[in-house]
Amino acid sequence: MNILFLGPPGGGKGTQSKYLQRKYGMVQLSTGDMLRAAVESQSEVGLRAKEAMESGSLVSDDIVIAIIDERLDQPDTKQGVIFDGFPRTVGQAQALDGILLKKGLRLDHAIEIRVDDDLLVARVAGRFSCATCGASYHDTFTRPKVEGVCDNCGGTKFTRRADDTAEMVRKRLNYFHELTKPLLPYYQEKGVYSLLNGMADIAVVSQELENILAGKRS
Ligand code: AMP
Protein backbone atom coordinates (compact mmCIF):
# COMPACT_ATOMS: atom_id res chain seq x y z
CA MET A 1 0.00 0.00 0.00
CA ASN A 2 1.26 3.49 -0.85
CA ILE A 3 -0.12 6.51 0.95
CA LEU A 4 0.62 10.19 1.36
CA PHE A 5 -0.01 12.65 4.14
CA LEU A 6 -1.12 16.19 3.46
CA GLY A 7 -0.87 18.56 6.36
CA PRO A 8 0.78 21.63 7.82
CA PRO A 9 4.14 21.69 9.59
CA GLY A 10 3.63 20.19 13.05
CA GLY A 11 0.41 18.46 11.99
CA GLY A 12 1.71 15.00 12.91
CA LYS A 13 2.68 13.66 9.47
CA GLY A 14 6.08 12.50 10.68
CA THR A 15 4.70 10.97 13.89
CA GLN A 16 2.01 8.99 12.08
CA SER A 17 4.45 7.97 9.33
CA LYS A 18 6.76 6.53 11.97
CA TYR A 19 3.81 4.72 13.54
CA LEU A 20 3.01 3.02 10.22
CA GLN A 21 6.66 2.31 9.61
CA ARG A 22 7.01 0.55 12.99
CA LYS A 23 3.74 -1.33 12.72
CA TYR A 24 3.65 -2.39 9.07
CA GLY A 25 7.21 -1.99 7.83
CA MET A 26 6.12 0.63 5.33
CA VAL A 27 8.88 3.06 4.38
CA GLN A 28 8.64 6.74 5.35
CA LEU A 29 9.79 8.99 2.53
CA SER A 30 10.18 12.40 4.10
CA THR A 31 11.49 14.93 1.62
CA GLY A 32 12.29 17.22 4.57
CA ASP A 33 14.52 14.53 6.15
CA MET A 34 16.16 13.74 2.81
CA LEU A 35 16.84 17.41 2.12
CA ARG A 36 18.25 17.99 5.63
CA ALA A 37 20.59 15.01 5.08
CA ALA A 38 21.64 16.47 1.73
CA VAL A 39 22.37 19.86 3.31
CA GLU A 40 24.32 18.16 6.10
CA SER A 41 26.48 16.21 3.65
CA GLN A 42 26.94 19.31 1.47
CA SER A 43 25.95 17.37 -1.65
CA GLU A 44 25.03 19.24 -4.82
CA VAL A 45 21.32 18.85 -3.99
CA GLY A 46 22.01 20.08 -0.47
CA LEU A 47 23.79 23.17 -1.70
CA ARG A 48 20.87 23.96 -4.03
CA ALA A 49 18.25 23.39 -1.32
CA LYS A 50 19.96 25.09 1.63
CA GLU A 51 18.90 28.68 1.10
CA ALA A 52 15.19 27.90 0.59
CA MET A 53 15.15 25.63 3.63
CA GLU A 54 16.85 28.14 5.87
CA SER A 55 14.39 30.84 4.89
CA GLY A 56 11.31 28.62 5.35
CA SER A 57 10.51 28.68 1.62
CA LEU A 58 9.89 25.69 -0.59
CA VAL A 59 12.73 24.01 -2.43
CA SER A 60 12.15 23.99 -6.19
CA ASP A 61 9.89 21.28 -7.57
CA ASP A 62 12.54 19.76 -9.86
CA ILE A 63 14.84 19.00 -6.91
CA VAL A 64 12.26 17.21 -4.76
CA ILE A 65 10.71 15.38 -7.71
CA ALA A 66 14.14 14.00 -8.70
CA ILE A 67 14.81 12.89 -5.12
CA ILE A 68 11.53 10.99 -4.90
CA ASP A 69 11.88 9.48 -8.38
CA GLU A 70 15.29 8.10 -7.47
CA ARG A 71 14.31 6.94 -3.97
CA LEU A 72 11.40 4.90 -5.33
CA ASP A 73 13.88 2.73 -7.26
CA GLN A 74 15.30 1.32 -4.02
CA PRO A 75 14.00 -2.16 -3.17
CA ASP A 76 12.75 -1.36 0.36
CA THR A 77 9.95 0.74 -1.17
CA LYS A 78 8.27 -2.48 -2.35
CA GLN A 79 6.94 -2.82 1.24
CA GLY A 80 4.77 0.24 0.60
CA VAL A 81 5.68 3.86 1.11
CA ILE A 82 4.40 6.81 3.06
CA PHE A 83 5.06 10.12 1.34
CA ASP A 84 5.61 12.59 4.17
CA GLY A 85 5.82 16.22 3.11
CA PHE A 86 5.60 15.42 -0.59
CA PRO A 87 3.87 16.53 -2.77
CA ARG A 88 3.55 20.12 -1.58
CA THR A 89 2.51 21.79 -4.84
CA VAL A 90 0.18 20.87 -7.69
CA GLY A 91 3.25 20.55 -9.94
CA GLN A 92 4.74 17.98 -7.57
CA ALA A 93 1.45 16.07 -7.40
CA GLN A 94 1.24 15.89 -11.19
CA ALA A 95 4.86 14.75 -11.36
CA LEU A 96 4.16 12.09 -8.73
CA ASP A 97 1.28 10.76 -10.85
CA GLY A 98 3.69 10.39 -13.77
CA ILE A 99 6.39 8.74 -11.64
CA LEU A 100 3.96 6.21 -10.16
CA LEU A 101 2.56 5.39 -13.58
CA LYS A 102 6.05 4.93 -15.02
CA LYS A 103 7.03 2.57 -12.20
CA GLY A 104 3.76 0.61 -12.23
CA LEU A 105 2.78 1.81 -8.74
CA ARG A 106 -0.42 3.32 -7.44
CA LEU A 107 -1.47 5.67 -4.68
CA ASP A 108 -4.02 4.10 -2.32
CA HIS A 109 -4.72 6.96 0.08
CA ALA A 110 -4.09 10.72 0.33
CA ILE A 111 -4.81 11.59 3.94
CA GLU A 112 -5.17 15.14 5.18
CA ILE A 113 -4.19 15.68 8.81
CA ARG A 114 -6.04 18.84 9.82
CA VAL A 115 -4.92 21.06 12.71
CA ASP A 116 -5.73 24.70 13.59
CA ASP A 117 -2.93 27.15 12.88
CA ASP A 118 -2.68 28.45 16.47
CA LEU A 119 -2.00 25.01 17.87
CA LEU A 120 0.61 24.35 15.20
CA VAL A 121 2.80 27.27 16.19
CA ALA A 122 2.86 26.03 19.81
CA ARG A 123 3.50 22.45 18.69
CA VAL A 124 6.33 23.19 16.29
CA ALA A 125 8.13 25.82 18.34
CA GLY A 126 8.61 23.36 21.25
CA ARG A 127 9.52 20.18 19.46
CA PHE A 128 12.79 18.28 19.50
CA SER A 129 13.90 14.79 18.57
CA CYS A 130 16.34 12.09 19.58
CA ALA A 131 19.57 12.51 17.62
CA THR A 132 20.04 8.73 17.53
CA CYS A 133 16.65 7.26 16.56
CA GLY A 134 14.62 10.33 15.56
CA ALA A 135 11.86 9.80 18.16
CA SER A 136 9.85 13.02 18.56
CA TYR A 137 9.34 14.98 21.79
CA HIS A 138 7.92 18.32 22.88
CA ASP A 139 8.86 20.72 25.69
CA THR A 140 5.26 20.86 26.96
CA PHE A 141 3.28 18.01 25.44
CA THR A 142 5.61 14.97 25.27
CA ARG A 143 8.73 15.07 27.38
CA PRO A 144 10.86 11.90 27.69
CA LYS A 145 9.81 9.79 30.70
CA VAL A 146 13.29 10.17 32.16
CA GLU A 147 14.63 13.69 31.64
CA GLY A 148 17.36 13.74 28.99
CA VAL A 149 16.97 10.06 27.99
CA CYS A 150 15.11 8.90 24.87
CA ASP A 151 12.18 6.57 25.75
CA ASN A 152 12.71 4.63 22.55
CA CYS A 153 16.47 3.97 22.34
CA GLY A 154 18.03 5.35 25.52
CA GLY A 155 19.96 7.98 23.55
CA THR A 156 20.98 11.11 25.43
CA LYS A 157 21.51 13.55 22.56
CA PHE A 158 18.61 15.57 21.20
CA THR A 159 18.28 17.97 18.29
CA ARG A 160 16.03 20.88 17.35
CA ARG A 161 15.42 22.02 13.80
CA ALA A 162 16.64 25.49 12.92
CA ASP A 163 13.37 26.21 11.08
CA ASP A 164 11.17 25.37 14.08
CA THR A 165 10.90 28.92 15.42
CA ALA A 166 7.51 30.66 15.73
CA GLU A 167 8.38 33.11 12.94
CA MET A 168 9.52 30.39 10.56
CA VAL A 169 6.47 28.23 11.31
CA ARG A 170 4.16 31.10 10.33
CA LYS A 171 6.03 31.46 7.07
CA ARG A 172 5.92 27.71 6.39
CA LEU A 173 2.20 27.76 7.20
CA ASN A 174 1.63 30.45 4.60
CA TYR A 175 3.23 28.22 1.98
CA PHE A 176 1.01 25.38 3.12
CA HIS A 177 -2.18 27.45 2.76
CA GLU A 178 -1.19 28.96 -0.55
CA LEU A 179 0.50 26.08 -2.39
CA THR A 180 -0.32 22.78 -0.69
CA LYS A 181 -4.02 23.19 0.13
CA PRO A 182 -5.01 23.08 -3.56
CA LEU A 183 -3.93 19.44 -3.41
CA LEU A 184 -6.96 18.59 -1.27
CA PRO A 185 -9.48 18.90 -4.13
CA TYR A 186 -6.88 17.36 -6.45
CA TYR A 187 -6.95 14.12 -4.45
CA GLN A 188 -10.67 14.36 -3.66
CA GLU A 189 -11.32 14.21 -7.39
CA LYS A 190 -9.17 11.11 -7.66
CA GLY A 191 -11.27 9.40 -4.96
CA VAL A 192 -8.34 8.64 -2.64
CA TYR A 193 -8.79 11.49 -0.13
CA SER A 194 -9.59 11.06 3.58
CA LEU A 195 -9.57 13.51 6.48
CA LEU A 196 -8.03 12.93 9.90
CA ASN A 197 -8.57 15.19 12.91
CA GLY A 198 -4.96 15.95 13.84
CA MET A 199 -5.92 17.77 17.04
CA ALA A 200 -6.81 14.57 18.89
CA ASP A 201 -4.28 12.63 21.00
CA ILE A 202 -1.59 10.89 18.99
CA ALA A 203 -2.98 7.40 19.81
CA VAL A 204 -6.48 8.44 18.75
CA VAL A 205 -5.17 9.81 15.46
CA SER A 206 -3.28 6.54 14.88
CA GLN A 207 -6.45 4.54 15.50
CA GLU A 208 -8.45 6.71 13.09
CA LEU A 209 -5.67 6.26 10.58
CA GLU A 210 -5.90 2.49 10.94
CA ASN A 211 -9.65 2.74 10.30
CA ILE A 212 -9.04 4.63 7.10
CA LEU A 213 -6.43 2.15 5.89
CA ALA A 214 -8.76 -0.74 6.74
CA GLY A 215 -11.45 0.90 4.63
CA LYS A 216 -13.72 1.45 7.62
CA ARG A 217 -14.06 5.14 6.85
CA SER A 218 -13.68 7.21 3.73
P1 AMP B 1 9.57 19.39 6.48
O2 AMP B 1 10.56 18.57 7.25
O3 AMP B 1 8.63 18.54 5.68
O4 AMP B 1 8.86 20.41 7.33
O5 AMP B 1 10.43 20.22 5.41
C6 AMP B 1 11.41 21.13 5.81
C7 AMP B 1 11.76 22.05 4.66
O8 AMP B 1 12.25 21.28 3.55
C9 AMP B 1 10.58 22.83 4.08
O10 AMP B 1 10.30 24.02 4.80
C11 AMP B 1 11.07 23.10 2.66
O12 AMP B 1 12.05 24.13 2.63
C13 AMP B 1 11.78 21.81 2.32
N14 AMP B 1 10.88 20.80 1.71
C15 AMP B 1 10.53 19.58 2.22
N16 AMP B 1 9.71 18.92 1.40
C17 AMP B 1 9.50 19.75 0.34
C18 AMP B 1 8.72 19.63 -0.84
N19 AMP B 1 7.97 18.56 -1.11
N20 AMP B 1 8.76 20.68 -1.70
C21 AMP B 1 9.50 21.77 -1.47
N22 AMP B 1 10.26 21.94 -0.37
C23 AMP B 1 10.26 20.93 0.53
- Confirm or reject: Cβ of 58 under 6 Å from ligand 1: yes
- Confirm or reject: Cβ of 200 under 6 Å from ligand 1: no
Q: Would you state the pLDDT for residue 218?
A: 45
- Give me the tens of pLDDT residue by residue for the chain, a chain 218 residues long: 999 999 999 999 999 999 999 999 999 999 999 999 999 999 999 999 999 999 999 999 999 999 999 999 999 999 999 999 999 999 999 999 999 999 999 999 999 999 999 899 988 999 999 999 988 899 998 999 999 999 999 999 999 998 999 999 999 999 999 999 999 999 999 999 999 999 999 999 999 999 999 986 54
DSSP-assigned beta bridge partners for residue 149: 146
Q: Would you state the pLDDT for residue 5?
A: 98
Catalytic residue chosen out of the listed positions 71, 161, 171, 181: 161
Predicted TM-score (pTM) of this structure:
0.92
Which class for 166: exposed (0-12), middle (13-18), buried (19 or more C-beta within 10 A)? exposed
- Confirm or reject: Cβ of 67 under 6 Å from ligand 1: no
Annotated catalytic residue 106: no
CB neighbourhood size of 62 (10 A): 12
The residue whose CA is least distant from atom 15 of ligand 1 is: 32
Q: Are 61 and 89 in contact (CB under 8 A)?
A: yes
Calculate how far, in angstroms, residue 147's C-alpha sits from the geometric centre of ligand 1: 30
Calculate how far, in angstroms, residue 33's C-alpha sits from the geometric centre of ligand 1: 8
- Confirm or reject: Cβ of 85 under 6 Å from ligand 1: yes
